[in-house]
Structure 1
Amino acid sequence: MIQIDVAPAGDDSASGTPERPFATLERARRAAREAGGEVVVRLRAGTHALTAPFELTEEDSGGEGRRIVYQAFGYGTGEQEQVVVSGGRAVSGWREEDGVWVADVGDLDTRQLDVDGRRAERAGIDALPGEAARTVTGYVTDSAAPLDWRSPADVEFVYRGIYPWTEARCGVSSVDAEGGSTVITMARPAFDWAVDLYNSAWEGQVQAGPGLPTRIENDAAFLTEPGTFVLDRSRPGHHLLRYLPRPGEHPERTRVVAPALETLLRATGTRDVTFQGLTFADATWLRPSRKEGFLHYHGSGFYDGGPVDKVVVVEGQAWVTVPSESKTIPAGVVLENATGVRFEGCRFTRLGATGLGLIGGSDLTVRGCDFDALSASAIAVTGSRDTLIEDNRVRHIGLDYSGSPGIALLHTQDCTVAHNHVSEVPHCGIVAGPGQGTRILRNHTAGTMSVLADGGGVYLSHPQGDTHDNGAVIRGNVIEDTRTPYNFGLYTDYGAAWVTVEENVVVRADSTAVLQVSPPLENVVYRGNFFDADPMGSDAVPEGVTYEGNVISKEEGAGAAAIRARAGLLRDRSDELGD
């Protein structure tokens, strides 16, 4: 086995030995490619700052019985070193203006900020001032307050709950005084797209496009809460970062990092590579700041123009408009068509979109990792086969894009999500869209649906195969504290078919589950589950559902306790995954 060492204070002209380590991952990658055989790249303690994404291709593969490993020095021992792979840029040169720190950051563009390891929030206000109304091009208000916005073209309107499961973002173009009113013109095409996309009818109530914003972000006029920031891009090449410090913070002692890269790691067509014990941190995602905005629809998907379809939910009573096609929120760490790649014991934090994205490929493993302080989802798997997502802790995600699920599967085959702990997320905990052979086993979700509605701790939709043998299995999960109104702790929705739901515990939800949805469920089995309240529709079970042997009780008996004991993280436990 060949060992290659990399240290933040190393030298790329050195030999890559423990005594003379390389300085960059790129230099280590080239050395690993040249070495042949088993290779372990050992990253020494500290922050490994990237100036460009770390790219791996087919030529950076293991294969033929060998594996290339990138790991923290001392991984798996008590001497493991703390290693951060960062796409951030340290901010310095602060000056103070009326208690606000101000730094000229050149052409830096970012939507996030890290202050001494803590995610800082963008400054904002909770409503459009005055008596306001929507117009064809934006909004009009009788308040003059928006005329004081310092950089109107950097201001962003947030629309939380535009559909119960949706949160959109559109930028402002300009703010002008007209007569006794203030006219706010929104950026296009985002606002026009929003008017076309968000239309619905439900119980006699018709929604036509977005209403008033629920939050307004990113202007110096909003800097009233300590620990918040704004970025003023009104002078090209001289962007101004403004930060209102918290008590005790000092510009010479406080480390401020602005994420500068959108992608930290991308592996394309790579085979048999492992990442162990690394922290991936400090990335942003700039798309929502563009004139197209961020028009979220559902889960990890957002609208990028094109046809809009009208879907009838209840004939003559309810309908909704949806995008014909959606794009997926990108990830800070991406595998594309990779094979045999593993992430073990890693952490994904302070990332401006999704943490880890798996696109295509097969035989992928994400085990024992932590995901926190993420703007979107923790893990998004699209079109992959034979993938294992096991023993991961997911919490405090979806911080900027509240419709994001903790773990999301779409068009996967034979994917297993097992023994994960998902908590404190704004919408669904675990989501599976159309796929085949999905296994959602012995996970623990808690504190899901904390912001938006119409979702669940575990949510599954569309056909999942064509027999029960290759369909989906949801077994042994504990789903508790599904918070907002209008949710279902365990939610099989929108034409789900060939699904077996058995031996789960669901407590403290608005509704434990629902058996009557549109399009209807087909070949769905609910068996041996423990609920603290009857699922909706269980009094008149529809034709496509088998409902048998389920226990309804406010008290957890021995059966529910046994399921609870086996669900959640495997770490520090001796039991094995036995499904």
Structure 2
Amino acid sequence: MIFVAPSGDDTGPGTVERPFATLQRARDEAVPGAVVELRAGTYRLTETFLLSAEHSGVVYRAHGHGTPDQEEVVISGGREITDWSADDDGTHRAALPGPAPRQLYVHGRRADRASIPLEGVALTRTADGYTVDGTGPQSWAGDVEFVYRGAYPWSEGRCQVAAITGDAHTTTLTMAAPAFGQAARLYHSKFTWDAPGAGEFYGVDAPTSAENSPAFLTEGTFATRGTELHYRPRPDEPPTGVVAPVLETLLHARGVRDLTFRGITFADATWLRPSTPQGFLHYHGNGYYDGGDLQTVTFAEGEGRVTVPGDDATMPGNLIFEDSSGVTLADCRFVRLGAVAVEFRGAGTDNTLRDSEITEVAGGGLVIGDGARDHRVENNHIHRIGLDYHGSPAVLVTGASGTVVAHNEVDDVPHAGIVVYEGRGTRVLNNLVHHTMRVLADGGGIYISGPQGDSYATGALIRGNVVRDTITSYNYGLYTDYGAAHVTVESNAVHRSEASVVLTVWPPLDQVTFTGNVWDIDPGEAPDGVVLRGNTTVPGESFETDPRAVQITAGAGRRAGR
């Protein structure tokens, strides 16, 4: 057994009496079968913790894991900021410990980035930015960023302001290139239905808010200006315990087998891409446009068209397990993270996340990506996801086979909760998904799109889930979309959404069966390719006492004692 403690010494033997000080030293000493015991404290990484094939077969665990004496272990990519100077207005300033942070935490609490709404500001778009009557924006010193919420109903983009100039009458805002020009091309749609909201749209015509100027500061918020951090504390909260995340990747394991982490908190990492001139041109889920071809998708019956990336990029994980197999993350916590919390990338097999919590994350919660086989996500609580990048889902499964997502609780998410893109044999079982779609629209508590196999036997099974309180308008509790095929939706309870499920989409559904479900809104007649069999509509308050709904609810969500 190898012991590590923040107060240890890497020149020592790594014993309980004389532990090592760093994870790297323990990693280099460990052999397959070794157990690395981490003593209480915060391990502040100065570089990514890298693991490769020769580091396989090792268990890293909090000392006393599974007992009442389990010690609190935090692996952090953040830096504490202590050298403050104060202004008369209550603003505190300090030199940045690294790149300008996009998140800041005070005694573990997330401090909001200073922002103002732009509704009512008369912006006129030009080829490279905007003009504004008056001089107001000329006071916006800092690293200002525009947010485009609802560029599409499911999208929210971000673009930096490169320069603010003007005279006594007019202000000119020059936006960062290439992001602004790319955004103008991407966020271009036309809807032709005969109803309010139809017409041609350019999403960049209407930014919804501006962030990150000291001019926007209110109590409890922060902003950056060059190499300086500005923070205005709450009245009862002095500027102590302030941590800025610095590392973008806490841990990257590549080609590892049979690796285990137990009882450990991973915290304080960031993602800096949105702060560059490339911006963050979000499209759907964790995907964003990074240049290259754009395509036009035309809806059926001439209803309209949207512009989509030909090949989008994806938000990375703050913890990445790449081409790795037999990885187990158990009883861990992933908190205060700036991208996707955990990403299983590449051709790994039999990896597991269980009995853990993912929360306070700027982007997505968990991604199981292309090539993954037989991964399991069980008995976790995934909540407060997408705090900055509102299209990010709590769980995303894409291009994988044999994935099981079971008995999790997913809540407090700004868009979709559990998302399954094209894949094979995915099982979404007995999850409790609630209070999703809190910010953006056109999504669902559980969202499935694309082919899921080549038959019902090899397709997706969505069974025993409770989906409730899907918040914003234009949403579906359980959403089968965009050519979903070979999907069985069985014995789920869906209530308190704008619509329980959707049956008619483009491209159309094919071999999708809804059977034995209980919902509070009748979905209507089934089109070709869809089978409705044995479902029950229980409207109103009686839903929660209906015996079928009660039985499904009793079997959904996290299980005690795991």
Which range, TM-score by smaller chain?
Answer: over 0.9
Tell me which residue corresponds to 1:199.
Answer: 188
1:319-334 → structure 2 map (5 Å cutoff): 319-334=305-320
CA-CA distance at 1:164 after TM superposition: 0.3
Structure 2 CA distance, aligned partners of 1:570 and 1:514?
A: 30
Q: Is the 8 A contact 1:159 1:212 kept in 2?
A: yes
- If the length of structure 2 is used for normalisation, what is the TM-score? 0.96
2:86 is aligned, of 57, 77, 96, to: 96
Structure 1 CA distance, aligned partners of 2:403 and 2:151?
A: 32
Tell me which residue corresponds to 1:349.
Answer: 335
Q: What SS class does the counterpart of residue 559 from structure 1 fall into? A: helix
Tell me which residue corresponds to 1:218.
Answer: 212
Q: Deviations over 1:331-355 (max 9, x none)?
A: 1111000010010000000001110
Structure 1 CA distance, aligned partners of 2:222 and 2:112?
A: 6
Q: Which amino acid aligns with 2:534?
A: G
Tell me which residue corresponds to 2:13.
Answer: 15
Tell me which residue corresponds to 1:370.
Answer: 357
Structure 2 CA distance, aligned partners of 1:429 and 1:345?
A: 21
Tell me which residue corresponds to 2:322.
Answer: 336
Structure 2 CA distance, aligned partners of 1:209 and 1:394?
A: 31
Tell me which residue corresponds to 2:255.
Answer: 269
Q: Which amino acid aligns with 2:337?
A: L
171-180 or 401-410, which deviates more: 171-180
1:569 is aligned, of 555, 558, 561, to: 558
Q: Do residues 428 (structure 1) and 409 (structure 2) align?
A: no
Q: Is the 8 A contact 1:133 1:212 kept in 2?
A: no
1:232-271 → structure 2 map (5 Å cutoff): 232-233=225-226, 239-251=227-239, 254-271=240-257
Tell me which residue corresponds to 1:84.
Answer: 74
| Structure 1 runs not aligned, ≥5 long | 63-67, 234-238, 574-579
Q: Do residues 392 (structure 1) and 380 (structure 2) align?
A: yes
CA-CA distance at 1:41 after TM superposition: 0.4
Q: Deviations over 1:502-539 (max 9, x none)?
A: 1000000000001111100000000000000112xx22
Q: Is the 8 A contact 2:220 2:233 kept in 1?
A: yes
Q: Is the 8 A contact 1:129 1:145 kept in 2?
A: no
Tell me which residue corresponds to 2:271.
Answer: 285
Structure 2 CA distance, aligned partners of 1:549 and 1:409?
A: 28
Q: What SS class does the counterpart of residue 444 from structure 2 fall into? A: coil
Q: Which amino acid aligns with 2:385?
A: I
Q: Is the 8 A contact 1:464 1:472 kept in 2?
A: yes
Structure 2 CA distance, aligned partners of 1:172 and 1:314?
A: 38
Q: Is the 8 A contact 1:396 1:425 kept in 2?
A: yes
Q: Do residues 140 (structure 1) and 126 (structure 2) align?
A: no
CA-CA distance at 1:104 after TM superposition: 1.5
Q: Deviations over 1:166-198 (max 9, x none)?
A: 000000011111562111110000000001111
The 1:59–1:118 alpha-carbon spacing in structure 2 relative to 1, beyond 3 Å, is same
CA-CA distance at 1:146 after TM superposition: 1.0
Q: Deviations over 1:357-380 (max 9, x none)?
A: 011211100001101100011101
Tell me which residue corresponds to 2:508.
Answer: 520
Q: Is the 8 A contact 1:165 1:403 kept in 2?
A: yes
Structure 2 CA distance, aligned partners of 1:179 and 1:135?
A: 20
The 1:55–1:277 alpha-carbon spacing in structure 2 relative to 1, beyond 3 Å, is same
Q: Do residues 553 (structure 1) and 538 (structure 2) align?
A: yes
Q: What SS class does the counterpart of residue 512 from structure 1 fall into? A: coil
Q: Deviations over 1:491-511 (max 9, x none)?
A: 000000000001000000000
Structure 2 CA distance, aligned partners of 1:356 and 1:26?
A: 20
1:148-227 → structure 2 map (5 Å cutoff): 148-151=139-142, 154-178=143-167, 180-202=169-191, 203=193, 204-223=198-217, 225-227=218-220
CA-CA distance at 1:105 after TM superposition: 2.2
1:29-68 → structure 2 map (5 Å cutoff): 29-32=27-30, 36-62=31-57, 68=58
Tell me which residue corresponds to 1:65.
Answer: none
1:444 is aligned, of 432, 437, 450, to: 432
Tell me which residue corresponds to 1:405.
Answer: 393
Q: Do residues 479 (structure 1) and 467 (structure 2) align?
A: yes
Q: Is the 8 A contact 1:196 1:209 kept in 2?
A: no
Aligned residues: percent identity?
50
1:230 is aligned, of 223, 228, 239, to: 223
Q: Which amino acid aligns with 2:201?
A: Q
Q: Is the 8 A contact 1:419 1:568 kept in 2?
A: yes
CA-CA distance at 1:107 after TM superposition: 4.3
Q: Is the 8 A contact 2:52 2:255 kept in 1?
A: yes
1:457-476 → structure 2 map (5 Å cutoff): 457-476=445-464
Q: What SS class does the counterpart of residue 29 from structure 2 fall into? A: helix
Structure 1 CA distance, aligned partners of 2:345 and 2:425?
A: 17
CA-CA distance at 1:128 after TM superposition: 6.5
193-202 or 485-494, which deviates more: 193-202
Q: Which amino acid aligns with 2:538?
A: S
Q: Do residues 108 (structure 1) and 106 (structure 2) align?
A: no
Q: What SS class does the counterpart of residue 41 from structure 1 fall into? A: strand
Tell me which residue corresponds to 2:23.
Answer: 25
Q: Is the 8 A contact 2:38 2:73 kept in 1?
A: yes
CA-CA distance at 1:137 after TM superposition: 1.1
Q: What SS class does the counterpart of residue 66 from structure 2 fall into? A: coil
Q: Is the 8 A contact 2:397 2:420 kept in 1?
A: yes
Structure 2 CA distance, aligned partners of 1:7 and 1:140?
A: 56
| Structure 2 runs not aligned, ≥5 long | none
